[in-house]
Amino acid sequence: GAVVSQHPSRVICKSGTSVKIECRSLDFQATTMFWYRQFPKQSLMLMATSNEGSKATYEQGVEKDKFLINHASLTLSTLTVTSAHPEDSSFYICSARVGASHTEAFFGQGTRLTVV
Amino acid sequence: AQSVAQPEDQVNVAEGNPLTVKCTYSVSGNPYLFWYVQYPNRGLQFLLKYITGDNLVKGSYGFEAEFNKSQTSFHLKKPSALVSDSALYFCAVRDYGSGNTGKLIFGQGTTLQVKP
């Protein structure tokens, strides 16, 4: 299957700083990528849909000024957590699809963010 | 409203026995259904999908799923479980409310525990 690479896999940052997470589609182009947040032993919560060359679409309740998404190319989307707080500590996962909307999505390996 | 339900938080099965992880869905159009598996601190791996055609879908690692329209179910099955199958399993359905983005709605996840 297609490969989605997410970096870093783990990051620890201090409160008040910003952290950038990258999501790359390695062997295909993705006009749309998705960013999820997952709490321990829980399902994935969709945060936003990242659209290449345009603004991201955020889900209700997700602060767009806190979780900045940039999808500058067909193979790269970034999520920046700004002014991080300990409650932002979580597992963040990105995904992308190959082709039409009925095809399966491929997921990055996830990023474990810990804010201290 | 579209939704996916996984009624069991955890399924326990002995190695070598058949396993079933249940999933029911509710959608406004033709259901595009997916199963993913997640190992600890990793992203999701695609197992199989139903788009159209045969109701019995075969996927990765010996898994299969049966689409049942009348019962609106898409249960994941495997004839003989392995200890290495122990993981968190997610059922998902395409969200028709998201236009053509292919956004997925996930179930709450089922932890599969296979004991030797």
The predicted structure's pLDDT at residue A104: 80
Residues of B in contact with A97 (CB under 8 A): 102
**CA-based nearest residue in chain B for residue A10:** B41
Angle of CA points B107, B109, B110, to nearest 5°:
135
Query: Cβ separation of B46 and A106 shorter than 8 Å?
Result: yes
CA-CA distance, B59 to B37, in Å (whole number)? 12
* pLDDT for position A1: 66
Q: Is the per-residue pLDDT at B102 higher than 80?
A: no
* Beta carbons of A26 and A3 less than 8 angstroms apart: yes
Interchain contact, B109 vs A41, CB within 8 Å: yes
Sign of CA dihedral A105, A85, A113, A4: positive
Q: Does the pLDDT at position B99 exceed 70?
A: no
pLDDT digits (tens, 9 = 90+) for B9-65: 999 999 999 999 999 999 888 889 999 999 988 889 999 999 988 999 999 999 999
β-bridge mates for residue A28, sequence order = none
In CATH, what number is assigned to the domain containing residue B63?
2.60.40.10
Could you tell me which residue, A88 or B101, shows the higher pLDDT?
A: A88
In this model, does residue B116 exceed pLDDT 80? yes
- Which residues in B have their CB inside 8 Å of a CB on A? 32, 34, 36, 41-46, 49, 51, 88, 90, 94, 98, 100-104, 106-109, 111
Q: What is the mean pLDDT of chain B?
A: 92
Q: Which domain range does residue B55 map to?
A: 3-115
DSSP annotation string for A49-100:
EEETTSPPEEPTT--TTTEEEEEEETTEEEEEE-S--GGG-EEEEEEEESSS
- pLDDT below 50 — which residues of chain A? none
CA distance A52 to A63: 20
Judged by CB atoms closer than 8 Å, whether chains meet at A104 and B49 is answered as yes
Domains held by chain B: number: 1
Please tell me which residue, B1 or B68, carries the higher pLDDT value: B68
Q: Which residue has the tokens 């997410």?
A: A6
Percent of chain B at pLDDT > 90 equals: 76
Coil vs helix vs strand at A38: strand
Q: Is the dihedral of CA B57, B58, B61, B65 positive or negative?
A: positive
Q: Quick one: which H or E segment has residue B73?
A: strand B73-78
Alpha carbon B90 to chain centroid, angstroms:
5
